[in-house]
Homo-oligomer: A and B are copies of this chain.
Amino acid sequence: MRVVDVVRFDPVRRPDGPIVSTRNPLVGEFTSLHDPRGRRDSGLVLIEGPTLVAEAIQAGLTIEVACSSAPDRWPDAVEVADRVLARMSTTTTPNEVVVAAHRPEEPGDHERRDLLVLVDVADPGNVGALIRSAAAFGFGIRMVGGADPWSPKALRAAAGGHFHTTMRSGGRLDLSEFHTRGFVTVATVARDGAPTIPAGGQVALLVGSEAHGLPDDAIRGAMRRLTIPTAGIESLNAAVAGSVAMYERARTR
């Protein structure tokens, strides 16, 4: 049984009572979504906890199956025992409900808005925080390498940001694509960049990896370089640097 075979609202296929065994095949289907490969193979993502699940439903994600230990609050969910929910979850204190949802069709980033381009940002917490900031500051997101933005950790860190912005993943970095489409490409760099982003136009803001920053060719090829002015120490956490840059852009947009 694959998760995609369990239809959420089909009472015929529902178990008769709560699932109490962690050996139930549904448990394995959920735990497979803890890993990038399981998510990729199934096209599903794992969303955990009532707040994120409610946001996902409101955003129109297709829920394949929901499991909950609180059937009163989640009547459409398959009822599972606490320990089964714990096994299905990635958190140490599982929270009421987990769902397997179809990873949303990526709407593309063709709309007329600024873009945050994450190049090899490796930490899922940073990726999540940047998605949250992008949603808050009106940026779409392009992922190039780095952590899976749909991992449970990134979803948690984004606190619903996924459902309030657009996101495209995959491919390699090709600045000419942005230039052809009229974007002003701006590379965030630790030194020797300008302190501000020119107002107006449509900006593609490039943020590089925690360990190495942006690749040299991205820095060379970008139309502008931005350095957040600092005193004392020059380097900032990647999520902070990208967020401050987006703030600076939003402030002067």
Contacts and interface: CB of A to CB of B under 8 A. Distances in A.
Interface of A: 125, 129, 132-133, 135-138, 157, 159-161, 164-165, 228-237, 239-240, 243-244, 247-248, 250-251
Contacts of A133: 236-237, 240
B244 A132 contact: no
B230 A136 contact: yes
A235 B243 CA distance: 13
A149 to B, nearest CB: 15
Nearest to A246: B244
Given A129-B237, A159-B235, 10 more contacts: A129-B239, A132-B235, A133-B240, A136-B228, A136-B233, A136-B236, A164-B233, A230-B250, A231-B250, A247-B247
A188 to B, nearest CB: 13
A81 B122 CA distance: 30
Nearest to A137: B230
A226 B250 CA distance: 16
A236 B160 CA distance: 11
Contact of A236 (B164, B229, B243): B243
A231 to B, nearest CB: 5
Contacts of A234: 136
Contacts of A159: 233, 235, 237
Contacts of A240: 129, 132-133, 239-240, 243
B244 A247 contact: yes
Contacts of A229: 250-251
B132 A233 contact: yes
18 contacts: A132-B233, A132-B236, A132-B237, A132-B240, A133-B236, A133-B237, A135-B233, A136-B228, A137-B231, A138-B232, A157-B237, A160-B233, A229-B250, A229-B251, A237-B243, A243-B244, A247-B247, A247-B248
